Amino acid sequence: MVQGFAAILLFDFGWFREQFCIIMCPYGRFQSVLMDKHSKAVMYDEARGEPRGKAKKGSEKQYGDCVNCYKCVAVCPTGVDIRNGLQLECIACTACIDACDDIMTKLGRPKGLIRYSSEAAMQGQPSKSATPRVLAYSAAIALLCIAFTFFVSRKDSLNIQVLRAIEAPYKMVTNAQGHNVIVNHFRIHVNNHKGRDVKLISLKTSTAVEIVAPTLPMTVGSNQDAWVHFFVKAKQGSPEVFDGPKTVTAEFLEDSDKTNYRKLPYSLLGPTK
């Protein structure tokens, strides 16, 4: 486990590096789906910056504020040139904003040639926060949250499950009356997330078989799990008890005076004649 994590970290930080952000990180994918022209992101002010370049002595050509120093590209961890517009690889780290602000400060020009803004704001249009797309996605996310809460609240906080014991499927023994008896060994896994102790009292099933649960009653503490072993004894020559799945009823106390019952499926194995 530890070696596995160490190998993954070595691979990621030693070789894969920014490829993780570009190829695997879901942030850019989510961002591209949710974006519209009113969404805020790291943006280059094209109207102010273009045409980019440095004014030369004696040249009549007028340039924008971008001096084409490439500092914003050099600091970008994913190799984006934000002057070409917002790209999927941008992880909004804002390193290009800081780099460009430093250049603007040195040149005595206003900061914010690259800044957090929206496409609409860059074009001088009023920004809207509640666009139809935002409302639709908000409604979809709200529905997902409600569904998630609903299913989590319905999750059974006391999980009781019958499993067959890890050994021979059944054993043949002879009882005191000289009858052949088939014994099936089961385990009940009790996983208690109820926030209080649960006491498993007894197991009951059809009268055609006998259940022996030597460790009952058993108390399972809050946030603990436990295994309860039980044996089902059936006389050989009673095919009806081997016919299809059966249920065993577990009786347990959740509070000191409240008895609950849970029907648990199991199947018997053994010769029917």
Among residues 77 and 122, whose Cβ is nearest to ligand SF4? 77
Among residues 38 and 101, whose Cβ is nearest to ligand SF4? 101
Piece of 8-16, 80-88, 219-227, 261-269 that binds ligand SF4 (CB under 6 A) = 80-88
Give residues 98-157 in contact with ligand SF4 (rule: CB under 6 A). 99-100, 103, 113-114
Q: Does 43 bind ligand SF4 (CB under 6 A)?
A: no
Q: Does 93 bind ligand SF4 (CB under 6 A)?
A: yes
Before 217, cis peptide (omega within 30)? yes
**DSSP H helices in 60-130:** 71-74, 95-107, 119-122
User: Which residue type occupies 258?
Assistant: K
What minimum distance in Å lies between the beta carbon of 30 and ligand SF4?
15
Q: Quick check: 187 and 162 in contact, CB under 8 A?
A: yes
Residue 69's Cβ-side half-sphere holds a number of Cα atoms within 13 Å equal to: 17
Query: How many residues lie near ligand SF4 (CB under 6 A)?
Result: 29
Among residues 13 and 227, whose Cβ is nearest to ligand SF4? 13
Q: Does 201 bind ligand SF4 (CB under 6 A)?
A: no
For 84, phi then psi, to 5°, come to: -90, 10
Among residues 43 and 250, whose Cβ is nearest to ligand SF4? 43
From 22, 28, 38, 66, residue interacting with ligand SF4 (rule: CB under 6 A): 66
The SS3 of residue 148 is: helix
Q: Does 183 bind ligand SF4 (CB under 6 A)?
A: no
Instruction: Name the helix (H) or strand (E) containing 27.
Output: helix 26-34
Q: Which token pair is 224? A: 């603990």
Q: What does the DSSP 8-state code read for residue 24?
A: I
For 199, phi then psi, to 5°, come to: -110, 115
In the complex, the residues that contact ligand SF4 under the rule CB under 6 A are 42, 49, 52, 66-72, 75-78, 80, 82-83, 90-96, 99-100, 103, 113-114
